Amino acid sequence: MTEDIRTADDEQNAEVERELAWRAKSVGLAVLDVDDAELMHSWRSDPVVAHHMGIWPRSLTAVRERIERDIEDDDRDDFLILPHDGTPVGHVALTGQNIVNGTAQVELMLAAQHRGYGHATAALDALVDLAFGELPMYRVTAETHTDNAPALAVLAKSGFTREGISRAACLHRGRRHDLAVFSLLRPEWEELDRPRAWDA
């Protein structure tokens, strides 16, 4: 686990109150905006995050342009994860939304210094509550490296079922990584014994 270190950027971001699009017990989700590009860039550039997610650093301009493109994409919703103190601690998204088939994928990135406090599980639970409680999704999926222990634990805790392995599906730092494929179906979500986001 890493120590919870509040940077000057964290303090500045905490002072700006964000309007929450979705609220759960311990976190809120605020719509990602182009003004969040520097924050997203700093998270993506962190070696711990880059290793766990299998990403490589991009320029700030590229991150900003990607956010601009994603905002225009009707098949995805991107959010900052905000605990009660208002400090952005990560990013979560519902992507590839297919309303006809009722399918979507989840993406989750938590800043390394904010891991170990339950924010990832809370954010993922809130996002699947949005997918099944407000949107007509029936199947939500996720993929992660088979050696990404924190992500594997969060997915299992949120009720996702490990379906299988996509062998050697990702190249990162000169190595091929297997991807674990997870899913959560609407009937499984309905059976989860936990409060829903709207019960917070």
pLDDT in tens, 95-144: 999 999 999 999 999 988 888 899 999 999 999 999 999 999 999 999 99
Neighbour tally for 68: CB within 10 Å:
12
- Give me the pLDDT at residue 38, please: 94
Q: What is the pLDDT of residue 12?
A: 45
HSE toward the beta carbon, residue 85, CA cutoff 13 A: 11
Q: Which residues of the chain have pLDDT under 50?
A: 1-15
**Pair type for strands 139-145 and 103-110:** parallel
Q: What is the pLDDT of residue 3?
A: 35
Q: Residue 15: what pLDDT?
A: 45
pLDDT of residue 132: 98
| Complete domains list, the chain, with CATH | 8-199 (3.40.630.30)
